[in-house]
């Protein structure tokens, strides 16, 4: 369950282009499986800027709390407000309704540096 139409990080996040300079970010099926039932998501405020690798929020599950890292540098231009009342969307639809944030890229070339689906599969097999 690794969609081909997006990029991935070693921290088990997915990144999908939504425009020339915009991406949507969420956590992968593998990550949500490892976390267990997600009960709370802390989202960053719109307008916040982040460097690649900065923590931009948290996902809390019945097992643990995990940071959400910005896979690319950019400005938060959207958050999935549906997660406020239904954080379990990340478990049930991690690649769709369970998206977390939308970023305007500072450097669109950073997107190309992320893992493709094959590279991410290899990472999981290690």
User: 70-114, pLDDT tens digit by residue?
Assistant: 999 999 999 999 999 999 999 999 999 999 999 999 998 999 999
- Residue 67, domain CATH: 2.40.50.100
Residue 23: its pLDDT value, please?
98
Residue 41: its pLDDT value, please?
97
Question: Residue 36: inside a domain, yes or no?
Answer: yes
Question: Residue 94: inside a domain, yes or no?
Answer: yes
Q: How many domains does the chain have?
A: 1
pTM: 0.95
Which pLDDT band holds residue 1 (cuts at 50, 70, 90)? Answer: confident
User: 39-72, pLDDT tens digit by residue?
Assistant: 999 999 999 999 999 999 999 999 999 999 999 9
Cβ atoms within 10 A of the Cβ of 36, count? 12
Question: Residue 2: inside a domain, yes or no?
Answer: no
CA distance 72 to 53: 7
Range of the structural domain that residue 76 is part of: 7-121
- Phi–psi pair at 104, nearest 5 degrees: -95, 120
Tell me: pLDDT of 122 over 90: yes
């Amino acid at each position: 369950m690794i969609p081909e139409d997006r990029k991935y990080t070693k921290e088990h996040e997915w990144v999908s282009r939504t425009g020339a300079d915009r991406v949507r970010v969420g956590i992968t099926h593998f990550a949500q499986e490892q976390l267990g039932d997600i009960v709370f998501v802390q989202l960053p405020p719109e307008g916040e800027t982040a460097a690649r690798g900065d923590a931009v929020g948290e996902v809390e599950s019945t097992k643990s709390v995990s940071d959400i890292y910005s896979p690319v540098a950019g400005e938060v231009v959207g958050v999935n407000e549906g997660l406020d009342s239904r954080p379990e969307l990340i478990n049930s639809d991690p690649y769709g309704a369970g998206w977390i944030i939308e970023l305007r890229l500072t450097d669109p070339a950073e997107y190309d540096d992320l893992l493709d689906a094959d590279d991410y599969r290899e990472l999981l097999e290690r």
